[in-house]
């Protein structure tokens, strides 16, 4: 039965149960004399809390990433709109210049015809 406890608790703890049973009522000291915190984090509730916290952090990161992508897409869309506006303006100017060139051609033709007579 003790073997069964070791296996089931080793999934929930960072250390196997048999290590904990060496000093049942006192905290375990590491080789450096510091308190080993792995025993305080062995309960299923603390693991669920840790998983919940990790999930919340992950969701926060995904939310931040999605917001950043959305903002970037909005900026890109505004650049596209601005470029479209510039192309329309350039096209309007080009049409105006083509018309002016045709009018100048017609005037030069009239002047040339007048000079040839």
| Residue 51 resides in a domain | no
Q: How far apart are CA 16 and CA 45, in angstroms?
A: 18
| CA distances, 74 to each of 28, 47, 68, 70, 80 (Å) | 56, 40, 10, 6, 10
pLDDT confidence band for 43 (50 / 70 / 90): confident
Is the pTM higher than 0.75? The answer reads no
pLDDT confidence band for 42 (50 / 70 / 90): low
pLDDT confidence band for 117 (50 / 70 / 90): confident
| Residue 18 resides in a domain | yes
| Residue 4 resides in a domain | yes
| Residue 86 resides in a domain | no
| Residue 62 resides in a domain | no
Q: What percent of the chain has pLDDT over 90?
A: 58
The boundaries of the domain holding residue 34 are: 1-42
Q: Region 39-59: what's the mean pLDDT?
A: 85
> Nearest-CA neighbor of 3 among 22, 16, 13?
16
| Residue 63 resides in a domain | no
Whether residue 111 is predicted with pLDDT greater than 90 in this model: the reply is: yes
Other CB atoms within 10 A of residue 10 CB: 15
DSSP 39-106: GGG-SHHHHHHHHHHHHHHHHHHHHHHHHHHHHHHHHHHHHHHHHHHHHHHHHHHHHHHHHHHHHHHH
| Residue 21 resides in a domain | yes
| Residue 106 resides in a domain | no
Domain count, the chain: 1
pLDDT confidence band for 37 (50 / 70 / 90): low
């Amino acid at each position: 039965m003790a073997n069964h406890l070791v296996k089931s608790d080793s999934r929930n703890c960072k250390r196997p149960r048999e290590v904990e049973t060496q000093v049942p009522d006192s905290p375990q000291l590491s080789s450096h004399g510091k308190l080993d915190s792995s025993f305080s984090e062995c309960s299923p509730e603390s693991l669920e809390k840790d998983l919940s916290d990790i999930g919340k952090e992950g969701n926060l990161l995904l939310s931040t990433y999605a917001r950043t992508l959305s903002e970037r897409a909005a900026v890109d869309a505004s650049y596209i709109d601005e470029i479209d506006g510039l192309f329309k303006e350039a096209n309007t100017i080009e049409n105006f210049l083509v018309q002016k060139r045709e009018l100048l051609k017609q005037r030069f033709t009239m002047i040339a015809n007048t000079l040839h007579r």
